[in-house]
Amino acid sequence: MEDASDTPIKTGHTVIQAFLKTLDGSPGVYRMLDAKGAVLYVGKARNLKARVSSYARPTGHSPRIARMIRETASMMVLTTRTETEALLLEQNLIKQLKPRYNVLLRDDKSFPNILVSKEHSFPQIKKHRGAKKEKGDYFGPFASAGAVNRTLNQLQKVFLLRNCSDATFDSRTRPCLLYQIKRCSAPCVGYISEEAYDDLVADAERFLRGRTTKVQEKLAEEMQAASDAMEFERAAALRDRLKALTFVQGAQAVNPAGVAEADVIALHLEGGQACVQVFFIRANQNWGNRDYYPRTGAGAGPSEVMQAFIGQFYDDKEPPRQLLLSDGIEDADLMAEALADKAGRKVEILVPQRGEKKDLVAGALRNARESLARKMSETATQTKLLKGLAEAFELDGPPARIEVYDNSHIQGTNAVGGMIVAGPEGFIKSQYRKFNIKDTDLTPGDDFGMMREVLTRRFKRLLKEDPDRESEAWPDLLLIDGGAGQVSAVHEVMSELGVEDVPMVGVAKGVDRDAGKEEFHRHRGRPFALRRGDPVLYFIQRMRDEAHRFAIGAHRAKRAKAVGATPLDDVPGVGATRKRALLAHFGSAKAVSRAALQDLKAVDGISDALAETIYDYFHAS
């Protein structure tokens, strides 16, 4: 009798034709799966039966869609009440499942904002990223931390607002350096009244809302009044602030008069790669730009790339009032409706044909074109280096994933292992990992033991998650910071785990520990070196230095956390906020441990029940 497992699995348009009989005209989302159950593609439809029937035809498809259909072994559908719900579900599933034939936004970090905090009588102005839980006014988004820092620097010059923490503010007895260089009005020591400081805050917020003309007029009037009253020092200070404000406006690369709030999104496709450039226009000001390189789903066109980008980009962000696009999308009305539901107000999607909006899109498109050219040039260089690396280390081919390991500690304390990842597109920072060394039996400073623990944990988990070694998470090359001893320790671990086909090389400082004289070690092989000045050698040095930087950063963070640790960290119910309240009230953790129950109850934010918990924790017999 023939084993069912030996029967070929049917794929292609005949499978889709059979599945089509189970569908009706409901809106929803469909998934196409290959013979192993992996999701090939996620799509949405106003009418599932009509949409899926287009795949049931044997001909008339683009090469990309034809390949996808040939690989399809089964399908799944989820019906929704509306097409808008289907659109939102489609984008969520794409981000979650990362199907091979979908366009995928790979770099989707949150954006920083400027926060004028209102939790203090003298508001603080600062950078903010994440959930908007703190009381105050938020302005953004800004394209990057650099764009926020530049704007904050300019605001300090013009409006003299404090950026210090409340704790620093309360502890000052004399003005800090920022007051001396005319970037703060020193409210901490009473050099400005609360009313006058509130006026500065109001002016700063007017500026951030785009009402710069009123701010300039007000400063000019105050300067003239001070001059007329012969308060020449105050008049000079106001003149300097007015100059700074004028400079800020002139420094803005784009200040569109007719566009108050919009994201300008331009797409450039070339050679199967895509770059999407996004400019953030808020309050008639340019608040920076950022480029993205979405995966194009093996040959998607401009309309599909743009639509997928918008859907995934605004999945966890509030959209502006206008999106100005370089390329139209198929479901513009539907997308606008979905974004409007998310924002709670109207959102317009436009492809400008003339005027200032068209000029903004043209500028973004030029940036996208130049950015993609640079990216493709860097990729070509990286490809050449990977090929050279394969030749130097006698690999089967250029490695798609290189993992580099290093340890960091001080005499064995706060030990951390670091792993960085590099590939054809350079460093893949989202794949970096740190390992807090957990083995308490290790001799302090035992680098071999630490490396054994790191590699054991890394590959045990990898074997558990992907025993068939089908994912891209498996490395093609391991680089270890160290010589023959480290390589031997790693080889021992890999042999125990049954993973003996992953090449590994130890990178050791050579004679006099001089960069450029590195020696390379392989298991049971003689050390060898590359010629000084070889680009491949510099490439290896960069990877090793990046691993070293990452491991040291992780170690310093762990050490800083340990320095700031107190016995309060272990008290149930005492988090960061209550810990600060207790330390502010009593002065030290030791004083908290000795405090009477009534004194603990008197602390703001500490309930009677929590006070008893704290008291019992420190006074348990």
| Residue 141 preceded by cis peptide, ω within 30 | yes
Last residue of a domain, one of 373, 390, 414: 373
Give CA–CA dist 240/390, Å, rounded.
60
Contact 125, 204 (CB under 8 A): yes
Same domain, 15 and 156: no
Do residues 511 and 579 share a domain? no
Q: What is the DSSP string of 282-299?
A: ETTEEEEEEEE--B-TTT
Report the alpha-carbon distance of residue 93 to residue 78 in Å, rounded. Answer: 11
**Residue 382 burial (10 A CB sphere; 0-12, 13-18, 19+):** middle
In-domain check, residue 327 = yes
Q: Mark whether 450 and 481 lie in a shared domain.
A: yes
43 forms beta bridges with 30
Residue 436 domain-assigned (yes or no): yes
Task: Give one DSSP letter per residue of 539-568, joined into a string.
Answer: HHHHHHHHHHHHHHHHHHHHHHHHHT--GG
Q: In this structure, are 538 and 477 located in the same domain?
A: yes
Nearest to residue 537, comparing CAs of 392, 360, 331? 392
* The last residue of a domain, from among 514, 534, 561: 561
The CA–CA distances, whole Å, from 33 to 40, 70, 366, 556 equal 5, 11, 38, 45
Give domain status of residue 384, yes or no.
no
Size of the chain, expressed as the number of residues it contains: 621
Q: Within this chain, do residues 61 and 182 fall inside the same structural domain, yes or no? A: no
Q: Phi-psi region for residue 546, left (φ > 0), alpha (ψ -120 to 50) or beta? A: alpha
Query: What CATH number is given to the structural domain containing 550?
Result: 3.30.420.340
Q: Which of 318, 352, 373 is the last residue of a domain?
A: 373
In a domain, 577, yes or no: yes
d(CA 341, CA 330): 19
Residue 12's pLDDT is 85
Residue 600 sits in the same domain as residue 464: no
Q: How far apart are CA 422 and CA 413, in angstroms?
A: 29
Residue 591 and residue 541 share a domain: no
The count of domains in the chain is 5
Q: Are residues 247 and 265 in the same domain?
A: no
How many C-beta atoms lie closer than 10 Å to residue 545's C-beta?
Answer: 15
- Bridge partners of 420, per DSSP, are 404
SS3 of 70-91: the string is HHCCEEEEEECCCHHHHHHHHH
The one-letter amino acid at 587: G
Asked whether residue 45 is domain-assigned, the answer is: yes
pLDDT of residue 342: 87
| CA–CA gap between residue 97 and residue 93 (Å, rounded) | 6
| Co-location of 133 and 228 in the same domain | yes
Q: If the chain, 621 residues long, is cut into consecutive pieces of 10 residues, what is the mean pLDDT of each piece?
A: 57 88 92 92 93 89 89 93 92 90 81 89 89 87 82 82 87 88 89 90 83 71 80 74 61 65 93 90 85 82 92 89 94 92 92 93 93 86 92 92 86 78 89 84 76 90 84 89 88 90 87 69 87 88 90 78 67 81 81 86 87 82 50
Give the three-class secondary structure for 387.
Answer: helix
**Count of Cβ atoms closer than 10 Å to residue 16 Cβ:** 21
Rounded to 5 degrees, what angle do the CA atoms 502, 506, 508 make? 170
Does residue 415 sit in the same domain as residue 531?
yes
Q: CB of 488 within 8 A of CB of 480?
A: no
Same-domain pairing of 585 and 556:
no
The answer to whether 99 touches 312, Cβ cutoff 8 Å, is no
| 321 found inside a domain | yes
| pLDDT confidence of residue 2 | 47
Query: Domain range spanning residue 602?
Result: 567-619
139 close to 208: Cβ distance less than 8 angstroms = yes
Q: What's the confidence (pLDDT) of residue 253?
A: 46
Residue 383 in domain: no
Closest CA to 418 of 545, 542, 550, 543: 550
Check residue 429 and give left, alpha or beta (phi > 0: left; psi -120 to 50: alpha).
alpha
Looking at the fold, whether 68 and 146 belong to one and the same domain comes out as no
Q: What is the spatial distance between Cα 2 and Cα 555, in angstroms, rounded to a whole number? A: 59
Q: How many CA atoms lie within 13 A of 237 on its CB side?
A: 16
Q: How many whole angstroms separate alpha carbon 443 and alpha carbon 450?
A: 10
Nearest to 66 by CA among 79, 74, 57, 78: 57
Q: Say how far apart CA 127 and CA 141 lie, in whole Å.
A: 11
pLDDT at 251 (0 to 100): 46
Q: Residue 80: which CATH number?
A: 3.40.1440.10
In a domain, 102, yes or no: no
